[in-house]
Structure 1
Amino acid sequence: MKEVEPSQGHGRSVALLFPLSLMLFEFAAYLTNDMIQPGIIDVVREFNADVSLAPASISIYMAGGMVLQWLLGPLSDRIGRRPVLLSGTLLFILSCVATLFTSNMEQYLLTRFIQGTSMCFIATVGYVAVQEAFGEKDAIKMMALITSITLIAPIIGPLAGAAFIQIAHWKGMFALIAILALVALLGLWRTMPETVMRQGTSFSFGGIADDFKQVFRNRCFLAGALTISCAYIPLMAWVAISPVILIDNGGLTSSQYAWTQVPIFVAVILGNLTVVKLVGDNPSDRILWAGAPIQLTGLCLAVLGNLLAPHIWLWSVAGISTYAFGTGMIFPILFRRTLFSSSSPKGTVSATLNIIVLSSIALSIEVGRLVYQYGNKMLFHALGLAAGALSLMFLMRFLQALKVNGSTQPLAPLLEDIQE
C-alpha cells in the first residue's frame, strides 16, 4: 500500500491529537476490564452464576479481541485505516450502552465479547497507523507513551471501580466509559490521517487467505509473535484470576484488592518510560536483553515466595511487579520489529500477530484458572514462569532470524519532523 503524505499544517495535529485520541479509546477499552474487576464477584452473584465464571469476563473479552482480526487487517489494507477504526469505536460505544440492559450472565458475557472486539480495531488498525505515520525510533517512543498512559487505567480502574460500587450500581461504570469513548470517537474523526491509499485491490476471501499464508510462513515473524505472546501470559492470567485468588479465597475487600494492582501497572509504565529514555542512545537489541532477565527474575520471585510462604500475597504482587517492569521494557520494541519482520501488508501482519497473541492469552487464562482451581498459587505462578522461559527462548530465535534474514524496513514515515 502506498502511504499518503499529510497536508502541510496537518502534521502537528497528526503528531499530537491522533495518538491522543487513539490513546483515549484504548483507555476506555481498558477500563471495561479494570473498573469492573473489583465488582466482578458482585456481578456473578447478582446474576446467580457460579463464581468460577468470574475470570470469563476477561477471557471472553480476549476472545472478542480475536474474532475480527482476520477481517479488519486485510480490510484496512484495502479501504484504509480511518473508516475501519472509526467504525470500531462506534461499535464499542454501543456495546457499553448494551451492558446497561443485561439481565443475566449470558447477556453480560455477550456484551463483554463485543467490547473485546475493540482490541481488534486498536491493535490491528490504530497501532499500525501509528507505525506507518512515524519513523522507527519515534514510533517506539510513541507506542511506549501510548501504552504508559493507557496503563493508568489498570491503576486507577480498580480503585475507581471499588469506590464506584460503594455508591452506585456497577452498570453505571459502562455508561461513563461510553461517554469517554464518544469523546475519543470525535477526536479520531477530526484528526486521524489516512496512511494508505485505495489502489483498487479487490476484497476476496482467496486474496485474504493468500496474504495470511504468506505471513504464517515467515518463521522470523512467528518467533517474534510467540515471544510477545509468552511474555504477556503471566500478566494477563494474573489480571483475570487475581480477584478469585485475593478476594474470593484470600479474603481481601474490593478496595484492598484494587491497591494490590497498583504496583504492577506502575511497573509496566516505568518499563515503558525506560524505553523512551534509552531508545535514542542504545540499540534496541540491548534493551530487549536487559528486559528479559528482569521478567524471569520477577516470575522466579513469585514462585519461590509462594513456595516458602503461600499465605502471604505480597510475594505474588512483588514478583508480578518485577516481571511487569521487564515486560514494559520489551513490548514497544518487539511490536515494531515483529510488525516489520514481514513484507506483507501491515494490516494483515498486525492481524496475524494479534490472533496469535490474543488466542494464546485467552487459552492461558483458562489453563491458569484450572491450575489454580485444582492446585494452588505456587502452581499458578509456575505456569507463568514456564511462559517466561518460553518467551526468552523465542526471543533468541527471533533476534537470530532477524540477523540472518534482515529486518524488513518500513516505507518512509508520514511524519519525519516529529518533535522529540
Structure 2
Amino acid sequence: MLLLLVAMTGIAPISLYMLVPALPELARTFGADISIAQMTVSLYMVGLAFSQLIMGPLSDRFGRRPVLLAGLGLMVIAGIASSFAFTLPQLIAARFFQALGGATGMVMSRAIIRDLYPRERVGAMISLVIAVMMIAQMLSPLAGGLLEIGFGWRSIFYVITGASVIVTLAILILLPETRWRIATESGGGGFMADAKVLLRSRTFLGYLLCYVGSSWIIFTFAGGGPYVVVNQMGRSSAEYGAWFACTGFGYLMGNVFCVRLAPRRGLEQLIWFGLALQFGGALLNVVWGLAGLNQMPAWLFLTHMIVMFGNAFVMSNSAAGALSIRPQAAGATSGMMGFLQMGLGSLCSQFGAYLGGHFTTPVPLNIALVLLSCGCAAAMIFLVPRGGIVATKRMIEEAEGEETGLL
C-alpha cells in the first residue's frame, strides 16, 4: 500500500520536473521562444490545480478506485499524445490533459490515507509517503536531463507514459476500494453540503490556511532563489541547483523525523514545533541579510534548511487536521487543499521571482517568508480552538442537525 501511495502521489510531480531540463531543446526544436516552451510547465501546474478541485469530490461520490483509474488512464492517453506531438501547441495541450489525469493520484493518496488510518496516524503516513517520494522527485530533473541528452526529448515522454501504464496496472490489480470504510459509517451529503459544513468550520479553515500557507513558502522561495543566487551573488545556475537540493534534503529529513515523533506527540504539538522552526529559520535569514552575511549561498540555504525541516511538520500535520474534520468528505477536502496549494502557489512563485529579481539583497524575499510563517501561526491561533477536532465535531453535528431540520 505504501508503494502504491508513493507511486500515485509522485507520478504527476515527477513528470513535471523531468521535462524542465529539456525546455531549451523544445524551444529550439519547434523554433519558439523559451517563454512559449515554458507553457508546457506553467499550464501543467494549472491543470494540477483544477483537477484536484474536481477529482476530489468525484471520489467522494463514486469511490476512490474508479476515479483514480479514470484519471491515470487520461494521463496515459495524454502521454502518448505528448510523445507524438508535431507542434508546440499540440504538446502544450497534451501536457495540460496529462496534468488533469495525473493530479488524481495526488488528491486521492491523501483521501485514501484518511480512509484507512485514524486521525493520529494520518500526519505520520502523509510524511512517510512524502519522504519516500521526495527521493525520486529530487532525482527526476537529473533523469530527464540524461534522457534528453542520450535519446532526445521525446524519450522523456516515453518513460513518463510507460511509468503511467505501470502505475495504472498496479492500482487496477492491487488497490482495493477504500471509500466504503467511511461511507458505511456516515454518509456524505454531496459536494455542496460537504463544502458548506467545512467552510463553516473555523477549525477546518485554520488547518487549511496553515497547510497552504506553508506550501506557499516553498513556492515563494523557489521563485526567487535562482535570481538571488545567479544575479545577486554572481554564482552559476548549476551551483544554485546544488544548493537548492539541500533545501529538499531538509524537507525530506523533516518528514522522516515527523514519522518518528508522531506516535509520541499530539497533532497540534507537532504543528507548533514546525511553526517555531519555520518562523525561526526565516527570521534568522532576515538577520543574516541585515548583517550583510546573506550574500553567500551557504548562509542563505543552510538556514533555509531549518525552514524546510519545520515546514514538513506543519504541512503533513495540518493536512491531517483538515482531513479529519469531515472524514466522509476527505476527497473534497483534499481537492480544496491541492487547488489552493497549486493554484495560488504559482502566483507566489511569480511574486518570489519579482522579489529576487528586482532587489540587490535577499532581505525582501526572506521578509516575505517571515510574513507567510506569521500567517500560518495566526491561522492556528485565531481559528483552531483548543481541543481542535473535539470542539469542531460538536459544531459540525450542530450544522448537520440544522440541515436535517430544514430538509
TM-score by length of 1: 0.80
Q: Per-residue deviation at 1:338?
A: 0.9
- Cross-structure match for 1:362: 346
The separation in 1 between residues aligned to 2:339 and 2:138, in whole angstroms, is 26
- Cross-structure match for 1:269: 252
Q: Per-residue deviation at 1:276?
A: 1.2
- Cross-structure match for 1:400: 385
SS at match of 2:382: helix
1:389 equivalent to 2:396? Answer no
Higher mean C-alpha deviation, range 280-289 or range 75-84: 280-289
Q: Per-residue deviation at 1:44?
A: 4.6
**Aligned residue pairs, count:** 389
- Cross-structure match for 1:24: 7
Q: 1:146 to 1:343 in 2, by over 3 A?
A: closer
- Cross-structure match for 2:96: 113
Q: Is the 8 A contact 1:220 1:402 kept in 2?
A: no
Q: Is the 8 A contact 1:306 1:312 kept in 2?
A: no
Q: Deviations over 1:301-320 (max 9, x none)?
A: 44444552565333442233
The separation in 2 between residues aligned to 1:190 and 1:82, in whole angstroms, is 11
Among 172, 175, 189, the residue aligned to 2:155: 172
Q: Is the 8 A contact 2:11 2:102 kept in 1?
A: no
- Cross-structure match for 2:171: 188
Q: Per-residue deviation at 1:58?
A: 4.7
1:142 equivalent to 2:125? Answer yes
Q: Per-residue deviation at 1:23?
A: 0.9
The separation in 2 between residues aligned to 1:349 and 1:385, in whole angstroms, is 27
- Cross-structure match for 2:405: none
The separation in 2 between residues aligned to 1:134 and 1:212, in whole angstroms, is 22
The separation in 1 between residues aligned to 2:296 and 2:40, in whole angstroms, is 26
Higher mean C-alpha deviation, range 293-302 or range 325-334: 293-302
Mind listing any 5+ residue stretches in structure 1 that lack a counterpart?
1-17, 410-420
Q: Deviations over 1:98-122 (max 9, x none)?
A: 3333455544443443333356412
1:314 equivalent to 2:298? Answer yes
1:216 equivalent to 2:216? Answer no
Q: 1:24 to 1:398 in 2, by over 3 A?
A: same
State the AA in 2 paired with 1:406.
A
- Cross-structure match for 1:160: 143
Q: Is the 8 A contact 1:237 1:368 kept in 2?
A: yes
- Cross-structure match for 1:96: 79
Q: Deviations over 1:72-93 (max 9, x none)?
A: 2222122111000111122222
Q: Which runs of structure 2 are paired with 1:67-106 in the superposition (5 Å)? A: 67-102=50-85, 106=89
Q: Per-residue deviation at 1:333?
A: 1.5
Q: Deviations over 1:359-413 (max 9, x none)?
A: 221221232233334445443333233212211211223432654862549xxxx
Q: Per-residue deviation at 1:20?
A: 1.1
- Cross-structure match for 2:365: 380
Q: Is the 8 A contact 2:17 2:140 kept in 1?
A: yes
Q: Per-residue deviation at 1:39?
A: 4.0
The separation in 1 between residues aligned to 2:206 and 2:56, in whole angstroms, is 20
Q: Per-residue deviation at 1:148?
A: 0.4
- Cross-structure match for 1:349: 333
- Cross-structure match for 2:214: 231
SS at match of 1:297: helix
Q: 1:45 to 1:220 in 2, by over 3 A?
A: farther
Q: Is the 8 A contact 2:222 2:352 kept in 1?
A: no
SS at match of 1:279: helix
Mind listing any 5+ residue stretches in structure 2 that lack a counterpart?
395-407
The separation in 2 between residues aligned to 1:274 and 1:179, in whole angstroms, is 33
The separation in 2 between residues aligned to 1:382 and 1:124, in whole angstroms, is 31
The separation in 1 between residues aligned to 2:273 and 2:68, in whole angstroms, is 35
SS at match of 1:36: helix
- Cross-structure match for 1:334: 318
Q: 1:68 to 1:169 in 2, by over 3 A?
A: same
Q: Per-residue deviation at 1:233?
A: 1.0
Q: Per-residue deviation at 1:37?
A: 3.3
The separation in 1 between residues aligned to 2:92 and 2:317, in whole angstroms, is 33
The separation in 2 between residues aligned to 1:361 and 1:169, in whole angstroms, is 31
Q: Is the 8 A contact 1:212 1:352 kept in 2?
A: no
Among 287, 305, 309, the residue aligned to 2:270: 287
State the AA in 1 paired with 2:336.
T
Q: Per-residue deviation at 1:266?
A: 1.4
More helix by share: 2
Amino-acid identity (%): 22
1:325 equivalent to 2:309? Answer yes
Q: 1:69 to 1:366 in 2, by over 3 A?
A: same
Q: Per-residue deviation at 1:287?
A: 1.7
Higher mean C-alpha deviation, range 271-280 or range 176-185: 176-185
Q: Is the 8 A contact 1:158 1:258 kept in 2?
A: no
What is the alpha-carbon root mean square deviation over aligned residues?
A: 3.4
